[in-house]
Amino acid sequence: MASISLRNVTKTYGSGAKALQVIHGVSAEILDGEFIVIVGPSGCGKSTLLRMVAGLEEITGGEIAIGPRVVNELEPADRDIAMVFQNYALYPHMSVFDNMAYGLKIKKLPRDEIQKRVDKAAGILELSHLLARKPRELSGGQRQRVAMGRAIVREPQVFLFDEPLSNLDAKLRVQTRLEIQKLHRELGITSLFVTHDQVEAMTLAQRMIVMNAGNMEQVGTPDEVYATPATTFVASFIGSPPMNLLSGRIQDSRFEMPGATIGIGGEPNPGRTDEVQLGVRPEHLRVAEDGWPITVELVEVLGNERLLYSKLGEQALVVRTDDSARRPEPGDQLKIRPQPGKLHWFDAASGKRLSI
């Protein structure tokens, strides 16, 4: 096992006037044995960053170290990593055993050692009864487990997962997430996991790196990222439904927006400008006798809870409620109040978090 250090890593395609920079100075320290999830929307650079760690993409600037070694110039085979891809990449004419053992045979490991490693990995992944089958005889979830088994038998210092669950249906994704968590607890190997699914990120990560347009927006535990998002991008990306962001102005000790005003107490500290955005998560809003006036536009029923899609003045607002009260109807006028201590403030120009 080994730590991973990313030191001001950049990636640029092309040169001169046609140069396109896609990774902008990413720096992060991944601890030995840690499970890190890199999450962000499509095109944000998360897979490119992972492929640079793997050696499948050259870096333009900075350093990548795995353990004590800077690996910028090392070939993928020399980095002591194992990668699990989205599309499984199994050999269709080989059995499960031979797929898992293939890399070890190429390394010319003794037959007894190959058998030992494959049997151990198959036991961990509950594949022992499938070793004689061909990939076409397996379900999607079983194929993904074979791909993970092929990585395990190599006994690498680092696991790299590139959206490995995106081809699975919803039920299999949940099941495979549990298997990956169990696998990490048993093996303790340093892991980087790329996904665009924030639910996967929140459930799998010990810490997460949130990427946006090639920039690292925030690094932290799932609880830290959810509770104290560093930017409006993180606030709107992490959470389902995402955090409400309301535009307004701080005037004296009050926040004013079209349709509502709220006291903030103390001395405001809005930074360079008094134009700010107020963030509040849907679950931190409550229907009350007095508060912000909203107009319900749509009610989404989700079992024991409801999402009220509404308007506060001209701004959209989502409220999460339970099923204990009367179900509102589109067009209803309600008043809602945020929970104390659950408001977030962001600079309107930069999107960065403010302390107010």
User: Which one, of 181, 100, 182, lies nearest residue 142 by Cα?
Assistant: 100
CATH code reported for the domain at 4-233: 3.40.50.300
The answer to which of 7-11, 113-117, 202-206, 264-268 has the lowest mean pLDDT is 264-268
Query: Omega before 135 cis (within 30°)?
Result: no
Whether the CB-CB separation of 312 and 266 falls below 8 Å is answered with no
User: Which helix or strand (DSSP H or E) is residue 60 part of?
Assistant: none
Average pLDDT of the residues in 84-92? 85
% of the chain at pLDDT higher than 90: 66
pLDDT band at 322 (very low <50, low <70, confident <90, very high): confident
Q: What is the pTM of this model?
A: 0.89
Domain 241-354 in CATH 3.40.190.10: no
Q: Where are the domains of the chain?
A: 4-233, 241-354
Let me know how long the chain is: 356
How far is the C-alpha of 260 from the C-alpha of 218, rounded, in Å?
Answer: 31
Whether the CB-CB separation of 281 and 319 falls below 8 Å is answered with no
Angle of the 111-124 helix axis to the 170-187 helix axis, nearest 10:
120
pLDDT in tens, 14-64: 988 889 999 999 999 999 999 999 999 999 999 999 999 999 999 999 999
CB atoms near residue 35 (< 10 Å): 24
Angle of the 170-187 helix axis to the 140-152 helix axis, nearest 10:
20
